[in-house]
């Protein structure tokens, strides 16, 4: 049974562009995979915490030697890892915050980038362990930061996510960016009109498949 993991990181709900994109993606994925399973992870409601020394110590302690406190420190991370490993495909809604990813998404990445779980150095070189997975990143940005724009160098979202997921073994990645979303804030367009071409781009991925 194909499984999709949906990860949302926008602090907004109904007005979120990135959540609108992930909803459209999920709707089309379900049509293409009627027997599939969807796992949803809302990072803004996951009580993610920064990595501390106790967490790192727990990670590098063998499983059978961990204390109850160490197991508790890793409990959320273990849950997040289980979701990643159970899914065949990931779709992430990513609003650009200050030219990078939202802080909650960075916290999630810190929780799931674990030696022996999602990467290893067993032979002295890094090796990603999330093999055979696919990731689609649906990015929303207030301005336009495409490769053909004057602000392209300010876009740290795509290179960062491509590097991190590639390090973890996920090399089948694609990005769809809804740039210029600030037009919604200033009333220069309406939500349906703005989202329409991006919805069509999402649907085309499934038609092609």
For 1-38, how does the pLDDT look when each residue is reduced to its tens digit (9 = 90+)? Answer: 999 999 999 999 989 999 999 999 999 999 999 999 99
The superfamily (CATH) of domain 3-208 is Flavodoxin domain (3.40.50.360)
User: Is residue 109 classed exposed, middle or buried when 0-12, 13-18 and 19+ CB atoms within 10 A define those classes?
Assistant: middle
Residue for token digits 């204390």? Answer: 67
Q: Which of 200, 21, 168 is nearest to 84 (CA)?
A: 168
Q: Tens digits of per-residue pLDDT, 136-175?
A: 999 999 999 988 899 999 999 999 999 999 999 999 999 9
* C-alpha–C-alpha distance, residues 209 and 205, integer Å: 6
Which pLDDT score is estimated for 154? 95
Q: What is the mean pLDDT of residues 95-100?
A: 97
Q: Which of 188, 97, 191 is nearest to 199 (CA)?
A: 191
Four-residue CA torsion sign, 64, 69, 71, 73: negative
pTM: 0.95
Q: Tens digits of per-residue pLDDT, 77-97?
A: 999 999 999 999 999 999 999
Q: What is the overall mean pLDDT for the chain?
A: 96
Which tokens is 120 given? 């290893």
Which pLDDT score is estimated for 124? 86
Q: Is there a contact between 85 and 103 (Cβ–Cβ < 8 Å)?
A: no
Q: What is the mean pLDDT of residues 36-57?
A: 97
Q: Which of 32, 165, 40 is nearest to 93 (CA)?
A: 40
The DSSP code for 115 is B
Confidence of residue 54 (pLDDT cuts 50, 70, 90): very high
């Amino acid at each position: 049974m194909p499984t999709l993991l949906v990860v949302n990181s926008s602090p907004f709900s109904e007005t979120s562009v990135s959540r609108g994109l992930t909803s459209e993606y999920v709707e089309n994925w379900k049509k293409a995979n009627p027997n599939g399973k969807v796992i949803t992870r809302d990072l803004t409601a996951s009580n993610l915490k920064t990595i501390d020394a106790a967490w790192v110590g727990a990670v590098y302690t063998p499983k059978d030697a961990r204390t109850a406190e160490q197991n508790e420190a890793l409990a959320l991370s273990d849950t997040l890892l289980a979701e990643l490993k159970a899914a065949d495909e990931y779709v992430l809604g990513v609003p650009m915050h200050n030219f990078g990813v939202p802080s909650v998404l960075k916290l999630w990445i810190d929780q799931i980038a674990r030696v022996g779980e999602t990467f290893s150095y067993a032979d002295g070189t890094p090796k990603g362990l999330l093999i055979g997975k696919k990731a689609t990143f649906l990015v929303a940005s207030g301005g336009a930061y495409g490769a053909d724009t004057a602000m392209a160098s300010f876009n740290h979202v795509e290179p960062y996510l491509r590097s991190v997921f590639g390090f973890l073994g996920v090399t089948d990645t694609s990005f769809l960016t809804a740039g210029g979303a600030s037009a919604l804030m200033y009333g220069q367009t309406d939500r349906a009109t703005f989202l329409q071409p991006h919805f069509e781009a999402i649907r085309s991925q499934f038609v092609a498949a």
